[in-house]
Amino acid sequence: MLYQAQHSIIADKVTLESGINLNFPTHIHNSFEIIIATSGEMEITVAGKSYIISGNECVLVFPNQLHEIKTERYAEHAILIFSPQLVRAFSKKFESHVPKINKFCLDNFYINKIKSLDGKRSTVELKGLLYSICGEFDKNAEYFEYKGDGQNLLFKIFNFVSENYKGKCSLYELAKETTYNYVYLSKHFSKNTGISYTEYVCRFRINEACYLLMNTNSSVLDIAYECGFDCLRSFNRNFKAVIGTSPSAYRTQKAKNRVE
């Protein structure tokens, strides 16, 4: 299994990719992923269930769902990967839930909108499109609660962080929750994701902070505490290390982009 860190824990990340005859091994990331067969036929496996898609049929992969892409003969595709933070209301509504069926259909209006996406779109326009697509999926979708199973320890860890990042979220607390040895948990997580558990928690908290900086008027200090940091200095240092700028500068830049 491959963990794609580049598609995880980035508050406003959107990636559009297209090509032919894609084959990609089983992988996982903390983003939504829409896979569209624009021509030919593809097989998409999500959480052990296989779907054959063709003729603009789609699959919507939820965050932290294992999935694999296969093309046996020929297929053209478009793939849109986007952060849950861009559809916050939708992703929070179905947190810890996954769809019974990931396959759905989009009409040409949405397909063409996806294909034409570029870096010039405003955040408002982008969110509007993504919410509309999620709404189309949700029209006929059914969901069930999924907490992971004995074979999916990584999912349990992701879920634990999501539920506890505001407070006690250390490896020791994780060990209590999962009944695994904390040394084993640390090695297991690093081996399967390529980053340490501590780094993942930090990035998750920073991601939540990015959302609050963009969408609330809360002070930087209040946001730091809300996201699990014990002091402003630690928050500022970690934020700059992950995002490349200070929380205040990030908020100012995002506000400017919205106006433009």
Q: In terms of CATH architecture, what is 2-145?
A: Sandwich (2.60)
CB 209 within 8 A of CB 224: yes
Query: According to the model, what pLDDT value does residue 260 have?
Result: 46
Distance in angstroms (rounded) separating the CA atoms of residues 154 and 152:
5
113 φ, ψ to 5°?
-60, -45
Please determine, for residue 219, whether its predicted confidence score (pLDDT) is greater than 80: yes
241-256 mean pLDDT: 87
The CATH fold of domain 164-259 = Arc Repressor Mutant, subunit A (1.10.10)
pLDDT in tens, 24-34: 877 888 889 99
142 φ, ψ to 5°?
-120, 145
Distance in angstroms (rounded) separating the CA atoms of residues 111 and 80:
11
At residue 192's C-alpha, the angle toward residues 142 and 34, to 5°, is 35
| 258 CB-near residues (< 8 Å, 6+ apart) | 122, 123, 124
Please determine, for residue 217, whether its predicted confidence score (pLDDT) is greater than 70: yes
CB 130 within 8 A of CB 87: yes
User: Which residue carries 């069926």 as its tokens?
Assistant: 101
Distance in angstroms (rounded) separating the CA atoms of residues 139 and 106:
12
